[in-house]
Amino acid sequence: MILIKKGLSILLLLLFFPANALTSTGDIAKAKALNAEVHLRKNVEQILTLIRDPALTAAPKEHEDILYAKALDVFDFRTFSMLALGKKYRKFSAAQKDEFVHYFSKLISKSYFPKLAGKDVHNIQIKYLKTIPLKPKRNIYRTDISTELIQGDIHVLVDYRMIQKRDSDWKIYDIKIEGVSMVANYREQYRQQVSQTPEDIILHLREKVEQ
């Protein structure tokens, strides 16, 4: 009788609870975190390949456009922008948010990627140290991936904060270099601009991009 009851219990579980429902949220987050690391490794290698390409470094404008297109693929600039603006983000209209994200993404790409072009990046090694899944919220998964960038005697700790919204690709929404967050750095800058309106912020950002 006991064996029959156990058999019925297992049957009811299989009928009414699909297999993925029996998997803990923590297990899903860990599996997704491993996928995030694979995605990051692939994108980092692609970026380094673009930077190393001598044909592209000889054509700066084309190189900049290609790197920007790759940045849009790698970064979640909307989340990046929202966190960078902090409380100010709520003061922007929908159109202003779109405009800010557009120019902010241009600024990030222009400020960081082209500076690497032409530099000796052939002997750069990247060591992946640890991948930490964070608690998911409303079907949004986040993962922190710690790496070490090594070039000769230079060792730099770089942490990538990644996000996956529903079933979209993993994207970077913040980078910490030696513990210094890009998001926090920009948020502090915007926090100090107390009197600036959304229009002022967008205008100043556009001017920096178009310099």
- CA–CA distances in Å: residue 46 to residues 4, 50, 66, 80, 177: 57, 6, 11, 21, 20
**What is the topology classification, in CATH, of domain 26-210?**
Nuclear Transport Factor 2; Chain: A, (3.10.450)
Extents of the domains making up the chain: 26-210
Sign for the pseudo-dihedral over CA of 188, 178, 120, 73: negative
Q: Are 172 and 164 in contact (CB under 8 A)?
A: no
Give pTM, 2 decimals: 0.81
Contacts 24+ apart (CB under 8 A), 18-22: none
Residue 180 Cα to chain centre, angstroms: 15
Per-residue pLDDT tens, the chain, 211 aa: give them.
554 444 545 444 344 444 454 356 667 878 888 889 999 999 998 888 888 777 776 777 787 888 889 999 999 999 999 999 999 999 999 999 999 999 999 998 887 775 555 556 678 889 999 999 998 888 899 999 999 999 888 899 999 999 999 878 999 999 999 999 999 999 998 888 878 899 999 999 999 988 8
* 77, 85, 127, 182, 183 from 188: Cα distances, Å: 18, 9, 30, 10, 9
Instruction: Specify burial of residue 40 (Cβ count, 10 A radius: 0-12, 13-18, 19+).
Output: buried
**Number of other residues whose CB lies within 10 A of the CB of residue 201:** 21
Residue type, 99: E
Q: What whole-number distance in Å separates Cα of residue 78 and Cα of residue 92?
A: 13
Give residue 12's pLDDT: 45
Give the span between the Cα atoms of 149 and 95, in whole angstroms: 38
The phi and psi torsions of 18 (rounded to 5 degrees) equal -60, 160
**What is the helix (H) or strand (E) element at residue 25, kind and residue range?**
helix 25-52
Residues 6+ apart with CB under 8 A from 203: none
